């Protein structure tokens, strides 16, 4: 799943020609590209998707959305570090045939039905 999540801009910097910011997502702080929202300021809230702030929103909407995502249990998954994602994947049950080649019916894999 890949959600757009609201966060509060804590700092704005320039990385060469790119406007970057430190954005707080309810306690998790990440670096975000702010180039698509040139009007944003420190203290404003933005909707962030895959590391890019894509729109500015009000604080109430941001807080309500964060609360909803927390209740759904999706914030931990969406805001996990790369190491956390790999650790979760390593602990998840593994499929005997991740490429989908295993047959789910009584037919052997690779067999075709005659019409």
CATH code (residue 77): 2.30.30.140
| Contact residues for 59 (Cβ-Cβ < 8 A; gap 6+) | 8, 45
pLDDT of residue 41: 97
Beta bridge partners of 12: 21
Higher pLDDT, 87 or 53: 53
The structural domain count of the chain equals: 1
pLDDT per position as a tens digit, 60-69:
999 998 888 8
- Look up the pTM and report it: 0.66
Q: Is residue 77 part of a domain?
A: yes
Write the pLDDT tens digit of every residue in 23-70.
998 888 999 999 999 999 999 999 999 899 999 999 999 999 888 888
Residue 100: inside a domain: no
């Amino acid at each position: 799943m890949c959600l757009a999540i609201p966060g509060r801009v804590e700092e704005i910097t320039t990385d060469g020609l790119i406007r970057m910011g430190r954005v707080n997502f309810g306690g998790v702080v990440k670096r975000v590209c702010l180039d698509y929202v040139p009007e944003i300021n420190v203290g404003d809230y933005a909707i962030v998707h895959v590391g890019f702030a894509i729109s500015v929103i009000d604080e109430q909407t941001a807080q309500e959305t964060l609360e909803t995502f927390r209740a759904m249990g999706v914030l931990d998954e969406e805001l996990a570090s790369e190491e956390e994602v790999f650790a979760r994947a390593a602990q998840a049950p593994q499929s005997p045939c991740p490429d989908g080649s295993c047959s789910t019916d009584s037919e052997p894999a690779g067999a075709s039905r005659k019409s």
